Structure 1
Amino acid sequence: MNDTPLRPGMAAVSILAGMFALGITDNFVPYISETGSLWQFHMVRGVMAVALLVVVAGVGVGVIRPISWAAVLGRSLFPASAMLIYFGCLSVLPIGVVVAGLFTAPLFVLLMSVLFLGERVGVVRLFAVLIGFVGAMLVIQPDPKALDPVAFLPVFAGFLYAIGALATRRWCADEGAVALSAGFFGMLAIFGAIGLMIVPAGGPVGFDGFVQRGWVPLTAEMWFWIAVQAVGSIIGIGLIFRGYLLGEAGFVAVFEYSLLVFASFWAWFLWGQTVGGLALAGMGLIAVSGTVISLRTEEAISVRAVKVPEEET
């Protein structure tokens, strides 16, 4: 059992603060993507994040050594792949659209739970999945005459994140939050290192070249923004963990959709990015769909961080 008393109000504040932090830090990525490399960013940020988690574990906050290395590494493949796509898309798509795609993850969790795990769901949650699908189509707005596969990548990231959520439940139920976070960031660092070995150094200039660039000289400004991203991610995810300790999963998960608002607001404030009316309506439908699924599911998933496993007394 979890010994921390439930405090719904503080749980909501913690989740909102975590999403506020992530909404800001994700909007700092364009400072890196204009001249930097996606692969270099993930390698450097991953190493920084793991080092921070080692310090956190060293002062007695959690345990970084996993119970099962194979389970943690296997689970980490999926959310790390999702974040690789997520950050790559931030350089070419509005951040609100990218976040909305990632937040389709609860829809995929529900569908895969029914199709592959034999779980039974009611009409309400099935209708919520339909609403979420309509919302995703409104955000993507596919044009058969000029179909852009990149527009579907955030939804594919949501699909991969959903697999990671199911893997967390099945393989890593007894693992701690610090160990799971270290596995996630460590896997991203490995992905980044592999990318740097494959992608030639240098590459096209501008935001579109973020994914196509290999190793580039790291300026003081890039070091600063990567460090800000690493620290901001740890703070944001830490606040999300805290929220899941203080509140019921279904209740807490609803507040994660505030990221759609925070990310879109900061994208408008910092970069002048705007989202059209249909896309805004789609984002709203995705939020409604995820809210319904979360409130009617005992084990709601966290989209930007894993739920903290309960400790046995």
Structure 2
Amino acid sequence: MQNRPLIAAAHIMTAMAIIGLIDQFIRVIAIDSSLWTFHLLRSVMIWTIALAWLAISRKRLEVVSWRGVLARSAFNATGLLIYFGALGFLPVAQAAAGLFSAPIFVLILSVALFRLRIGPVRIVAAFTGFAGVLMVLSPDVSTLSPAAFVPLAAGLFYAMAAIATREWCPDEHALTLTLGGFAFMGLWGLLGIVSIAVAGGEGADFLTRGWVWPTPEVLWWCIVQALGSLIAVVLLTRGYQLAEASLVSVFEYSVLGFSALFGLLVWGDVLSVPAMLGLLLIAAAGSLIALRGRGVPA
């Protein structure tokens, strides 16, 4: 088995940089489109690309456990739906901070559901990470609003997807799980569009609009999202093949730094000192939980 941690880290960090950059432009899509249109369009694009590749390579999608894949896909898609919805009104770094509270929720759910025994180090790490999330989502208590905590729901569902991946989908191919997640995101998009049309309550913002015919600019950024997401997934998969997962997963937290950096470069978003410290606490806590959870000294 290959063990090339430096090259693996480069793959993971490149994937995180791509995600940190392309997610900045959800703000552009949100101006003229809707969350539901975006998910439907992007999922159709990704499935089209994947099916074309499968046809050319003469490979087939195989599913070991339909129940596991469906459950995992539903959790993953719901978490990402909430995350992308939050991008309509929050900077990427803040939304990503909520999403990356997932390791804390994994720990909590593992204790509650599977009677996992944890020591003081991971308990302290969980509290530290949660404090970091609060510092990012609400650096100024005087301006605290319930909307700031929406990304935490994304982290909860993402954690449930992580548990489902480990418990119910250990033998599934990465492409199967990836396309399963995008299929459910497309279904979420279609459901949102139909529900808004039936209710007749067409709104005026990213979350409450139904189907919106894409402008050339929106279509372009949906294509960028589809291609960028696929490239990032390929890089992530390759990274995990090149080195021990417990070491490689730590580098996923670089997305928090990339999100803050690109938010500054693209939009001029400046995080406060408490928020920046919060990002560091989330990354440190998540890394420690990952390392301790896989038996690596930390």
- Counterparts in 2 of 1:51 and 1:299: CA distance versus 1, 3 Å: farther
- Alignment length (residue pairs): 294
- Counterparts in 2 of 1:28 and 1:143: CA distance versus 1, 3 Å: closer
Q: Provide Cα deviations, 1:143-177, integer angstroms capped at 9, x if missing partner.
A: 78765221111111001100011011111111100
Q: Provide Cα deviations, 1:31-66, integer angstroms capped at 9, x if missing partner.
A: 211110100000110111122222333344974232
Deviation of 1:140 after TM superposition, in Å, equals 2.2
Task: Report the Cα distance in structure 2 between the residues aligned to 1:224 and 1:85, rounded to whole angstroms.
Answer: 23
| Aligned match of 1:197 | 194
Give the RMSD, CA atoms, in angstroms.
Answer: 2.0
| Aligned match of 2:137 | 140
Q: Provide Cα deviations, 1:106-155, integer angstroms capped at 9, x if missing partner.
A: 11111111121012122111110010111112122287876522111111
SS at match of 2:20: helix
Matches within 5 A, 1:1-313: 4-60=1-57, 63-141=60-138, 147-200=144-197, 203-205=202-204, 209-298=205-294
Task: Report the Cα distance in structure 2 between the residues aligned to 1:146 and 1:11, rounded to whole angstroms.
Answer: 41
Relative to the length of structure 2, the TM-score reads: 0.93
CA contact 1:63–1:179 (8 Å) conserved in 2: no
| Paired residue type of 2:145 | D
CA contact 1:43–1:188 (8 Å) conserved in 2: yes
Mean Cα displacement is larger for which, 184-193 or 61-70? 61-70
| Paired residue type of 1:295 | L
Task: Report the Cα distance in structure 2 between the residues aligned to 1:190 and 1:40, rounded to whole angstroms.
Answer: 11
CA contact 1:64–1:182 (8 Å) conserved in 2: no
CA contact 2:97–2:137 (8 Å) conserved in 1: no
Task: Report the Cα distance in structure 2 between the residues aligned to 1:111 and 1:61, rounded to whole angstroms.
Answer: 42
Q: Where is the helix percentage greater, Structure 1 or Structure 2? A: 2
SS at match of 2:293: coil
- Counterparts in 2 of 1:53 and 1:202: CA distance versus 1, 3 Å: farther
Task: Report the Cα distance in structure 2 between the residues aligned to 1:298 and 1:161, rounded to whole angstroms.
Answer: 19
Mean Cα displacement is larger for which, 40-49 or 64-73? 64-73
- Counterparts in 2 of 1:199 and 1:284: CA distance versus 1, 3 Å: same
Deviation of 1:94 after TM superposition, in Å, equals 1.3
CA contact 1:32–1:222 (8 Å) conserved in 2: yes
CA contact 2:20–2:92 (8 Å) conserved in 1: no
Q: Which runs of 5+ in 2 are unaligned?
A: none
Task: Report the Cα distance in structure 2 between the residues aligned to 1:32 and 1:130, rounded to whole angstroms.
Answer: 35
| Paired residue type of 1:26 | D
Q: Which runs of 5+ in 1 are unaligned?
A: 301-313
Identity of aligned residues (%): 41
Relative to the length of structure 1, the TM-score reads: 0.89
Task: Report the Cα distance in structure 1 between the residues aligned to 2:295 and 2:150, rounded to whole angstroms.
Answer: 26
Task: Report the Cα distance in structure 1 between the residues aligned to 2:203 and 2:272, rounded to whole angstroms.
Answer: 29
Q: Provide Cα deviations, 1:255-310, integer angstroms capped at 9, x if missing partner.
A: 1111011111111111111111111111111111001111112299xxxxxxxxxx
